[in-house]
Copies of this chain bind each other. A is one copy, B any other.
């Protein structure tokens, strides 16, 4: 079945708020096996909303509108939908009582326009909204079911989960299942080339690639009569991808990030981590700390931005700074060694580079980065050349540092022979 989403609200068109409702509803509908081909955003304007709604009802089986159910003058989603469906608005006694109770509980006297929210399209299904004064509504037309939900996520999400999802489940005949395969250390076009045959041959399940900074995500999606069957369909493709990309796959779980995968790998092997960041300036540590419970593994980080700090905090040799420069393999090595020495951690990552826009040279252009990694005494230092602006270079560096560290751990536990890169 085909679903279409319409978000109503001038504040979205003005960019004052991000349309998270659309993302939530899309994900929910996809999980129900509903195909969503179009989403629209339109302001609180009867003429334009009518146009968008009619178009949606012509091409979709289910149309979900969110927003514009408030008590104020400019909220006209319900009125417009009723008109498009040729329904009168009638008073819903039950909801009128609800509104009265709601305000009584808050010791507020409802204003005249609050009662407007008790008016519903004739013969519409009225869905209970436990968190507001606007009910959810379902208008069942021949060509399409029109579902109206309030805009505030705190009202929309519970309403969807309690009333809309159960309703949609009675309509759908089948379910969708997606499995994500996350790869690090391999470029997008390289990944694309290596799975081109699978993508060309895809029908059900389908395979799609998504490029992230320093990562590529592959999503395998199957449709079947139920989730169990759909899941079964994805298995052979996921197995094939594992065979093709091996250890470059760091997870097959949607919610696991690269930093989490690395922290889990360290924890599973009883290893503690410290880091020393120059050009990334705490961005790596910040990503690690974004993972709840990281403190079991991640112990400390130093950001020795000045040369003096590199010497004082990490014992980098003055002679090395003078002979090789702060951005060099030698200094990356001494930073990593110093970090391990001062922290007594099992593993360390060090980063020194030129993020730009200034500071580049013929010999060491902007984007030149040296990353050092030590796992249980085994040192690796790699040189990288990233492009983009300062922020992009720093993000690419962090992804590369996590990838290098991951390789170091995998080598330590004997999963890979190093130098494969």
**Interface size class of chain A, counting residues whose CB lies under 8 Å from the partner chain:** 35 or more
Nearest residue in B to A306 (C-beta to C-beta)?
B299
Partner of A313, one of B10, B112, B190, B302: B302
Chain B residues lying within 8 Å of A219, measured Cβ to Cβ, are 16
Q: Flag whether A97 is at the interface (Cβ < 8 A).
A: no
A94 to B36, CA, bound (A): 39
A269 to B300, CA, bound (A): 31
Given the contacts A10-B208, A27-B15, A391-B154, A305 and B309 also touching, CB distance less than 8 Å = no
Chain B residues lying within 8 Å of A408, measured Cβ to Cβ, are none
Which of A38-46, A231-239, A241-249, A330-338 forms contacts with chain B? A38-46
Are A52 and B72 closer than 8 Å at their CB atoms?
A: no
18 A–B contacts from the bound complex (CB under 8 Å):
A10-B208, A15-B22, A15-B27, A37-B48, A38-B48, A39-B41, A108-B187, A108-B190, A111-B192, A130-B387, A131-B389, A154-B389, A158-B389, A280-B286, A282-B283, A282-B285, A290-B391, A292-B358
Counting chain B CB atoms within 10 Å of each CB, the highest count among A18, A42, A73, A286 belongs to A286
Nearest residue in B to A25 (C-beta to C-beta)?
B15
A300 to B310, CA, bound (A): 9
Closest chain-B Cβ to A326's Cβ sits at a distance in Å of 10
Chain B residues lying within 8 Å of A392, measured Cβ to Cβ, are 131, 154
Chain A 383-397 near chain B by CB (<8 Å), digits 1 or 0 = 001111111101100
The A contact surface, by secondary structure, is mixed
Are A130 and B72 closer than 8 Å at their CB atoms?
A: no
Are B312 and A342 closer than 8 Å at their CB atoms?
A: yes
- Interface residues in A24-41 by Cβ distance below 8 A to B read 24-30, 36-41
Chain A 205-217 near chain B by CB (<8 Å), digits 1 or 0 = 0001111010000
Q: Flag whether A319 is at the interface (Cβ < 8 A).
A: no
